[in-house]
Amino acid sequence: MQTKPQAKYLKDYQGPSHQVASLELTFDLHPTKTNVKAKARYTATDEQTSLRLDGVDLNLLSVSVDGQPFEQYECTHEHLLLSGLPKDFELEIETEISPQTNTSLEGLYLSGGTYCTQCEAEGFRKITYFLDRPDVLTIYTVTVIGQQSMPHLLSNGNQIESGQLADGRHFAKWHDPFKKPSYLFALVAGDFDLLEDEFITRSGRKVDLVLFVDKGNLTKAPHAMASLKRAMEWDEKRFGLEYDLDIYMIVAVDFFNMGAMENKGLNVFNSSCVLANQQTATDRDYHTIESIVGHEYFHNWTGNRVTCRDWFQLSLKEGLTVFRDQEFSSDLGSRGLNRIDAVMAMRTHQFAEDVGPMAHSIRPDKVIEMNNFYTVTVYNKGAEVIRMMHTILGEENFQKGMQLYFERHDGCAVTCDDFVAAMQDASNVDLSQFKLWYEQIGTPMLTVETEYRAQSNTYACSIKQKHAQNDPIQSPLHIPFAIELLDKSGHALPLIVNGERVSKVIDVTQEQQTVVFERIPERPVAVLLEDFSAPVLVKYDYHLSELIHIIAHASSDYARWEAAQQAFQLEVFKGVEQFNSGSDITLASELLDTFSMLLRDRRGDLALLAELIRVPSFDTLSSCFEQTPVDALNTCIKRFERNIASQLVEPLKQAFEACEESGELTHDAVSARALKNVCLYYLAMVADDKVTKWIDNQSESDNMTLKFGALKAAFNAQLPTAEDAMANFDSQWRHDLLVMDKWFALQATQIGEQAIAKIKSLYEHPCFDKSNPNRVRALIGSFARNNPEEFHRIDGEGYKLLGDLLIELNAINPQNASRMLTPFMSWKRLDEQRSKLMRAQLERLSQLTDLSDDLFEKVEKALG
Ligand code: TRP
Ligand code: ZN
């Protein structure tokens, strides 16, 4: 009989009952009967004589203490309770587990034919009984025994021994000299092709770099390797941080719940975040790979050397490491475009989380299933909070803070408070009010009013902050609010307050604050929250002409994109009204003229131009409404796109033809391809012979960015050739599942009476597999996110498709099921009929007899 899942609270935190001096693990690998021996030295931290170890789904074979069989224990569903123990003892536990039947992809499992582990957050307890918590750090020595058919037997640290066994099998023994918590443990066993390289650290140490990929995939490994070397070099330069072991290994596996995992010295990666060549991967894939390789590498210091005291502190390592990977991408590529990406993720996904039932602070204080808190709030908003500290302190002080953080806490498991304390102490900047960001929930709103006074040449800007309704913090936050004032030609005016030049970042610390800028010769156009200097909403009455002024003249790429987003928002508000009154929906001609001018000029970064003229997605736009006007929004987006296509045919064609792209991976070539694809996307909607030819030609390209761009354009516009093109792509790429994921994701966006049936029929496609998270995300994730028309069908068939799948996934892979459930979390923001239908799916789930903790937590919150 299963009991109702119990929540854990931050306020209940207690240190561990025991310290562990060392842990020796021996794995005798077998698909269904892997034998695990765990020998550890435990020391009680006080007069404790009992020990409660975590363990789930384990078959316990034996327990001994100090070399003697031990029987004073009790085995429950999730624990092993030992009693009558001495203060200091050696505990040896033997368990048996079944990697083959472990479809949760947590603990030890088989991915294809490869053994691999995923222990974060609480997966180690599926391997052996242990104090599976991040504040218990110890030294690991691991022996892996396996068949000859698995030549590579890997674990963390350095290999210290290997050899043959009498029964024809072999073994390898690994030692990791750095103390680590159990979530950073990893084991991999399989047959791979290896890409080997090396990196010389700035102090002159040689580090071996090894990438393990499935046989035959070597030609897709160089980009990840190059990314790793760039990351190592960058972390030395920008943060002064050097790698610490003699070897760094990355293994790519096909079955993985997330992108990648930073296990000490042995990263395990989703193969989708490693493998790339020009034929199979898009420019976007290349970028993602570089940033994730960087992210995991950066964890070696921000996560591994200094780790989290408890899982409520997850943002300590994730927020900080996302900030670091964003900076890495920005220093190496375009800062503006990277900022656009990050802000898009915040606005579209994080703001949605903030207004849903799973809203939480970046440091949550109540958790049922930890896996549910690897969220955009903890990761992305967490990174924004770090970024705000960086903005407030400046690079130099921030780096001093980082140094102090490592000086104080290297080798330790610490809290977010410790991080902020290091930043404050190193910089002498008071962060006590700032710290509220760790507790506040929801998106704060800044209401801005401005007034230009011609007699005094002043511009007053008053800012009022208001917290979300669900926010437990109602006292004012410290918000770095960046502002620029543009003159008629788009130049930023110097900001002068009380006769002195001030920086563009205003420290908003009060509920209401007014800043008066002086020596402003004419009414300026205000660029507010420049660079998204804080994760807040801004309410300000922009006039379309002001936004167009920014789009056309501002020097900041980010500000121009932001203004275009705001312009689309204004147009959507207008469009929804037009929809409701039954009148024609059109984009303002001033905006179309601006786009036309930009397309003809093609000055600056072409990738930015591509982003400027893209209509924001359904999910992005719906976050501007309290209740999502589904039908109106779908219609607006479609009408806007057709409008752009039909009104700008000539400039789009011109831009398409003028884009020279060398087929290389340089920033310019990538940007040119991005613009080409956006142009083609629009042009397909008004395709003439010329355009059709372009699409056909580009479909034949052996550059995946171009090839898929053409396919998407044709498919979206439902061109007569699209069906054949899709079929050809299918037969060309069936051997490559990662490429097929693109195809599945595109199929999932189809519309029409047969759409649901056709999407469902893809479950039977030979490449599809419900137990593989990449496939499920490609088909069903894309359906729920990128096909608002069919997902939100008024007959509820879209919701049912997802609901049916979730019931199956609940049994196969609860962690993946829970991530896939996210679109249902916003049921309350839909119209009555749709919210009823969505709610019904949540209720179906709530009635399952074996509902996983992962789904239970979200379903209960959603219905509560
Ligand atoms: N720590 C990993 C990262 O951010 C996240 C991760 C990978 C993860 N796999 C996981 C978290 C499985 C929970 C479960 O890079
Ligand atoms: Zn991470």
Q: How confident is the model at residue 2 (pLDDT cuts 50, 70, 90)?
A: low
Q: What's the rounded Cα separation, in Å, for the pair 377 and 361?
A: 7
- Give the distance (Å) from ligand 2 centre to CA of residue 250: 15
258 lines ligand 1 (CB under 6 A): yes
| Ligand 1 atom closest to 379 (CA) | 4
pLDDT of 662: 87
314 lines ligand 1 (CB under 6 A): no
338 lines ligand 1 (CB under 6 A): no
Q: What is the mean pLDDT of the chain?
A: 98
Q: Is a pLDDT exceeding 90 seen at residue 171?
A: yes
Cα–Cα nearest to 375, from 815, 811, 842:
815
Q: How confident is the model at residue 180 (pLDDT cuts 50, 70, 90)?
A: very high
Q: What's the rounded Cα separation, in Å, for the pair 370 and 814?
A: 12
Q: What's the rounded Cα separation, in Å, for the pair 745 and 858?
A: 25
293 lines ligand 1 (CB under 6 A): no
Instruction: Report phi then psi at 307, rounded to 5.
Output: -115, -175
Residue 549 near residue 486 (C-beta atoms within 8 A): yes
Number of the ligand closest to the Cα of 258: 1
Which residues lie closer than 8 Å to 127 by C-beta, 6 or more apart?
36, 58, 95, 97, 107, 108, 117, 119, 185
Which residues lie closer than 8 Å to 469 by C-beta, 6 or more apart?
442
> Which residue's CA is the closest to the ligand 1 atom numbered 15?
261
- Give the distance (Å) from ligand 1 centre to CA of residue 120: 6
Burial of residue 71 (CB within 10 Å: 0-12, 13-18, 19+) is exposed
Distances (CA, A) of 742 to 281, 601, 611, 757, 777: 10, 33, 21, 19, 10
Q: What's the rounded Cα separation, in Å, for the pair 770 and 805?
A: 9
Residue 61 near residue 95 (C-beta atoms within 8 A): yes
Tokens encoding 134: 């991040």
- Give the distance (Å) from ligand 1 centre to CA of residue 312: 15
Superfamily of domain 734-864: Peptidase M1, alanyl aminopeptidase, C-terminal domain (1.25.50.10)
Which residues lie closer than 8 Å to 655 by C-beta, 6 or more apart?
599, 600, 602, 609, 675, 679
Architecture in CATH for domain 1-191: Sandwich (2.60)
Q: What's the rounded Cα separation, in Å, for the pair 736 and 8?
A: 43
Q: What's the rounded Cα separation, in Å, for the pair 742 and 704?
A: 10
371 lines ligand 1 (CB under 6 A): yes
Residue with tokens 């930023």: 492
- Give the distance (Å) from ligand 2 centre to CA of residue 296: 6
261 lines ligand 1 (CB under 6 A): yes
Instruction: Report phi then psi at 268, rounded to 5.
Output: -110, 130
> Which residue's CA is the closest to the ligand 1 atom numbered 6?
261
369 lines ligand 1 (CB under 6 A): no
- Give the distance (Å) from ligand 1 centre to CA of residue 266: 14
> Which residue's CA is the closest to the ligand 1 atom numbered 11?
120
| Ligand 1 atom closest to 321 (CA) | 4
Q: What's the rounded Cα separation, in Å, for the pair 157 and 541?
A: 57
118 lines ligand 1 (CB under 6 A): yes
Strand order across the beta sheet in which 79-82 lies: 51-54, 79-82, 73-75
Q: Is a pLDDT exceeding 90 seen at residue 448?
A: yes
| Ligand 1 atom closest to 299 (CA) | 15
821 lines ligand 1 (CB under 6 A): no
Q: Which CATH number fits domain 448-548: 3.90.1150.10, 3.40.1160.10, 1.10.10.10, 2.60.40.1840?
A: 2.60.40.1840
Mean pLDDT of 439-455: 98
> Which residue's CA is the closest to the ligand 1 atom numbered 5?
261
pLDDT of 3: 74
Q: Which fold has domain 192-274+293-299?
A: Zincin-like (3.30.2010)
Number of the ligand closest to the Cα of 383: 2
Instruction: Report phi then psi at 714, rounded to 5.
Output: -65, -40
Q: What's the rounded Cα separation, in Å, for the pair 106 and 818?
A: 14
Ligand 1: which of 111, 125, 261, 297 to mutate, judged by most atoms within 8 Å of the beta carbon? Answer: 261
- Give the distance (Å) from ligand 1 centre to CA of residue 28: 26
pLDDT of 661: 85
Looking at the chain, how many residues does it have? 864
291 lines ligand 1 (CB under 6 A): no
Number of the ligand closest to the Cα of 269: 1
- Give the distance (Å) from ligand 2 centre to CA of residue 320: 9
Q: Which residues pair with 194 in a beta bridge?
A: 212
| Ligand 1 atom closest to 260 (CA) | 7
Q: How confident is the model at residue 660 (pLDDT cuts 50, 70, 90)?
A: confident
> Which residue's CA is the closest to the ligand 1 atom numbered 1?
261
Q: Is a pLDDT exceeding 90 seen at residue 244?
A: yes
Tens-place pLDDT, residues 690-715: 999 999 999 999 999 999 999 999 99
Cα–Cα nearest to 378, from 510, 504, 535:
535
325 lines ligand 1 (CB under 6 A): no
- Give the distance (Å) from ligand 1 centre to CA of residue 367: 17
Tokens encoding 599: 């397309």
pLDDT of 322: 99
Same fold, 1-191 and 448-548: yes
Tokens encoding 425: 């102490």
Number of the ligand closest to the Cα of 299: 2
Percent of the chain at pLDDT > 90 equals 99
Tell me how crowded residue 686 is: count the other CB atoms within 10 A of its CB: 16
Q: Which residues pair with 175 in a beta bridge?
A: 141, 158
- Give the distance (Å) from ligand 1 centre to CA of residue 250: 15
Mean pLDDT of 572-592: 97
Q: Is a pLDDT exceeding 60 seen at residue 122?
A: yes
Return the active site residues: 296
* DSSP secondary structure letter of residue 754: T
Strand order across the beta sheet in which 206-213 lies: 193-200, 206-213, 247-253, 266-270, 260-261
- Give the distance (Å) from ligand 2 centre to CA of residue 29: 29
Mean pLDDT of 564-575: 98
* DSSP secondary structure letter of residue 792: T
| Cis omega (within 30 of 0) for bond into 186 | no
Domain edges within the chain = 1-191, 192-274+293-299, 307-438, 448-548, 734-864
Tens-place pLDDT, residues 735-772: 999 999 999 999 999 999 999 999 999 999 999 999 99
Reduce the DSSP state of residue 213 to 3 states and report it.
strand
Question: Strand ranges (DSSP E) for 83-157?
Answer: 88-97, 107-111, 114-118, 138-146, 152-155
559 lines ligand 1 (CB under 6 A): no
Q: What's the rounded Cα separation, in Å, for the pair 161 and 175?
A: 9
Q: What's the rounded Cα separation, in Å, for the pair 253 and 275?
A: 10
Tens-place pLDDT, residues 476-504: 999 999 999 999 999 999 999 999 999 99
CA-based torsion, 556, 561, 564, 566: positive or negative: negative
| Ligand 1 atom closest to 371 (CA) | 13
273 lines ligand 1 (CB under 6 A): no
- Give the distance (Å) from ligand 1 centre to CA of residue 255: 13
> Which residue's CA is the closest to the ligand 1 atom numbered 7?
261
262 lines ligand 1 (CB under 6 A): yes
Q: Which fold has domain 307-438?
A: Neutral Protease; domain 2 (1.10.390)
Which residues lie closer than 8 Å to 480 by C-beta, 6 or more apart?
388, 391, 392, 505, 506, 507, 508, 533, 534
Q: What's the rounded Cα separation, in Å, for the pair 377 and 383?
A: 9
612 lines ligand 1 (CB under 6 A): no
| Ligand 1 atom closest to 303 (CA) | 1
296 lines ligand 1 (CB under 6 A): yes
- Give the distance (Å) from ligand 1 centre to CA of residue 261: 5
Would you give the end-to-end CA distance of the chain in angstroms? 24
Q: What's the rounded Cα separation, in Å, for the pair 64 and 90?
A: 8
pLDDT of 91: 98
Tens-place pLDDT, residues 764-803: 999 999 999 999 999 999 999 999 999 999 999 999 999 9
Q: What's the rounded Cα separation, in Å, for the pair 716 and 678?
A: 12
619 lines ligand 1 (CB under 6 A): no
Ligand 1: which of 109, 120, 308 to mutate, judged by most atoms within 8 Å of the beta carbon? Answer: 120
Q: Is a pLDDT exceeding 80 seen at residue 1?
A: no
pLDDT of 689: 97
> Which residue's CA is the closest to the ligand 1 atom numbered 2?
261
pTM assigned to the model:
0.99
Residue 21 near residue 41 (C-beta atoms within 8 A): yes
Ligand 1: which of 263, 374, 777 to mutate, judged by most atoms within 8 Å of the beta carbon? Answer: 374
| Ligand 1 atom closest to 121 (CA) | 13
